[in-house]
Amino acid sequence: MLITGKGGVGRSVMTAALAKLAASRGRRVLVTEVGDEGDDYSPLARHWSRERLPRLPEPLEPNVHGCVLLARTGQELFLKSVLRSGTLARAAIGSDALRRLLSAGPSFREMGVFFQLLTALREKSGDQPAHELILIDMPATGHTLSLTGLPELLLRLVPGGPIAAALKEGQGYLNDPKQASAWIITLPETLPVSECLELIDGLKKTKMPVGGVVVNRMPSDPFSPAEREALAPLVDRHAWLGRELFKKPLVAHRELARLRSHTALPLFVTPELPHDGLIAALSRVLDTATPLPQPVGGG
Ligand SMILES: Nc1ncnc2c1ncn2[C@@H]1O[C@H](COP(=O)(O)OP(=O)(O)OP(=O)(O)O)[C@@H](O)[C@H]1O
Ligand SMILES: [Mg+2]
């Protein structure tokens, strides 16, 4: 599952809540995020009281392993599989010239991340897959699309050999809706909804199946329609503190309706929740979440 969306919408909390929920149902989960060399802090790792996730899968809690997907780790794993020697792979990746080459092309970076993911997908425990559910806290929109678009792009340039074989194998997982799906997290606000609609199109173009959309942080409305009607003229006349807050639930419903009219994907809504105990509360909400009914006449 690729957890994606605009910056700040709640991708990391959603990834953590889903990981904990699946683990509590007895699934063997691998929780990952796409990292950058030199990152020294991960908001995702914080949910397991760690500064950052380990480079290779390590247990974080019962049923949950975690690791960071890094270009360099994946490139090293790839070289190791081609050269069939860890020593040679480490020597190769340690060479300045090769390192410069690998960090110069953006596709090499994506390829590293892609290969590390493929390694995790291949990993076995006995004759079963080591990880039943792999959750990836994806980077913001543009980087997500360069990762999901990587196989098609690179296969045109390198149609044969070990890189092509790995890309085709990865494509077999990622483009199969029975095995993989992207979930888009958004907020019920204008810009995030617009970006979410663009991301749905972008993912379709890269042949990445989309499971659905989660509209996160839906505000509750403390006012009845009659109260709103009485307050609206007053609020509109004055630039009072709280005017935006008063309008927030209205904007949220308008944006939810816009999303529904533009996509037939399953839509889930998660509410604005208290900061304390957020992950546990979000897990509970997700545990019983059902998609919004489709509007009459289809979406
Ligand atoms: N349902 C919610 N209720 C209340 N607060 C929330 C909810 N979802 C997310 N938040 C808060 O919103 C903030 C952003 O969440 P998070 O870090 O998961 O977003 P992100 O998409 O991973 O952001 P980034 O782009 O920085 O990686 C956090 O402070 C988080 O606690
Ligand atoms: Mg995040």
Whether 105 lines ligand 1, by a CB cut-off of 6 Å, is: no
19 lines ligand 1 (CB under 6 A): no
Residue range 163-210, pLDDT digits in tens = 899 999 999 999 999 999 999 999 999 999 999 999 999 999 999 999
Please report where in the chains the tokens 């996160």 appear, as a residue. 216
Ligand 1 centroid – CA 192 distance (Å): 13
How many other CB atoms are found less than 10 A from the CB of residue 38? 6
Q: Rounded to the nearest whole angstrom, what is the distance from the C-alpha of residue 228 to the centroid of ligand 1?
A: 29
Strands 64-69 and 128-129, how do they pair? unpaired
pLDDT in tens, the chain (299 residues): 999 999 999 999 999 999 999 999 999 999 999 998 888 889 999 999 999 999 999 999 999 999 999 999 998 898 888 887 788 778 877 788 777 777 777 688 889 999 999 999 999 999 999 999 999 999 888 889 989 999 998 898 888 888 899 999 999 999 999 999 999 999 999 999 999 999 999 999 999 999 999 999 999 999 999 999 998 888 878 776 778 888 899 999 999 999 999 999 999 999 999 999 999 999 999 999 999 987 765 54
User: Which of 249, 287, 250, 254 shows the shortest CA–CA distance to 268?
Assistant: 287
Contact between 11 and 214 under an 8 Å Cβ cutoff? The reply is no
Pocket mutation for ligand 1, best pick of 2, 4, 12 (most atoms within 8 Å of C-beta): 12
Instruction: Tell me whether residue 76 is exposed, middle or buried, using C-beta atoms within 10 angstroms of its C-beta: 0 to 12, 13 to 18, 19 or more.
Output: buried
Is residue 272 within 6 Å of ligand 1 at its C-beta? yes
CATH of 2-287, one of 3.40.190.10, 1.10.443.10, 3.40.50.1820, 3.40.50.300: 3.40.50.300
Q: What pLDDT shows up at residue 297?
A: 59
**Ligand 1: distance of its center to the CA of 35 in Å?**
17
Measured CA to CA, the distance from residue 284 to residue 295 in angstroms comes to: 26
End-to-end CA, the chain = 24
The pLDDT assigned to 180 comes to 97
Alpha carbon of 226 to ligand 1 centroid (Å): 33
245 vs 249: CA distance, rounded Å = 8
Predicted pLDDT of residue 107 = 84
How far, in Å, are 147, 151, 290 from residue 206 at the CA level?
Answer: 9, 9, 27
Distance of alpha carbon 194 from the chain centroid: 18
Are 103 and 109 spatial neighbours (Cβ–Cβ below 8 Å)? yes
Structure tokens at 37: 């060399």
Tokens at 165, concatenated:
């074989």
Nearest ligand 1 atom, CA 272:
3
